[in-house]
Amino acid sequence: MLETNLGWNDILFMLKGAGVTLSITAWAMLGGTILGMAFGLARTTLPWWLNAPLGAVLDVLRSVPLLIQFVLANSFKSIIGVNASAFTVACVMLSLYTASYCSEIVRGGILAVPATTRRAARSLGMTYRQDLAHIVFPMALRVALPNWIGLVLSVMKDTALVLWIGIVELLRASQIVVTRLQEPLLVLSVAGLIYFLMSFPVARLGARLEKRWHEND
């Protein structure tokens, strides 16, 4: 029988860290999805002289490692005198990082709608907004959803990097327990199981929605 010093208080401490992970993920996906939809739509409609600078900014957010963005943002807030918590910094930066990827998902979904379909909608008297609401967005959603689900899972794992700015999320909580108990294999296995239990329902929901749409085609 396995003997371990890992107790319920340690597991509850890790679950509390998991709650922080879920909270940051939720805020990042909310802000990132809203901004990503706006940026993605803008990149399909703006003239090149506005599209190019926006695309360059989003490229920077995608290219610079997220850890560097966290550390720089957390340092600059003190330099410029912004009174923001590390949790707020993490949510804001992860939202912007998420938006940079979500914008490409949205843009790809919109561009996947055939131009002939959009012309047909406009020939029937639909306005630009009606075309987006009734034709483009429903069709683009089917293309974008699998990638968006993948982005959710990726962002959930990326939250582990916020430990570098002093936030005790699941991975940091696990490290604290490991330091105290000196049982890394067991503790990290429990942490991995918690990550799986948080991620699996999201993945299954995406698969069910995608299957339902295919059945309705």
> For residue 64, what is the DSSP state?
S
86: which 2 tokens? 């590390």
Q: What is the mean pLDDT of the chain?
A: 91
User: At residue 118, does pLDDT exceed 90?
Assistant: no
- pLDDT band per the 50, 70, 90 thresholds, residue 1: very low
pLDDT tens for each residue of 150-186: 999 999 999 999 999 999 999 999 999 999 988 999 9
pLDDT tens for each residue of 189-199: 999 999 999 99
CA 90 from chain center: how many Å? 12
Q: Using alpha carbons, select from 169, 174, 136, 146 the residue that is nearest to residue 45.
A: 136
Domains of the chain: 10-216 (1.10.3720.10)
pLDDT tens for each residue of 51-72: 999 999 999 999 999 999 999 9
Scanning the structure block, which residue is given the tokens 């309705």?
216
User: At residue 141, does pLDDT exceed 90?
Assistant: no
Q: What is the pLDDT of residue 143?
A: 85
pLDDT tens for each residue of 164-173: 999 999 999 9
Q: Using alpha carbons, select from 217, 207, 193 the residue that is nearest to residue 11.
A: 193
Q: What is the pLDDT of residue 149?
A: 93
Report phi then psi at 91, rounded to 5: -65, -40
pLDDT tens for each residue of 57-116: 999 999 999 999 999 999 988 888 788 899 999 999 999 999 999 999 999 999 998 888
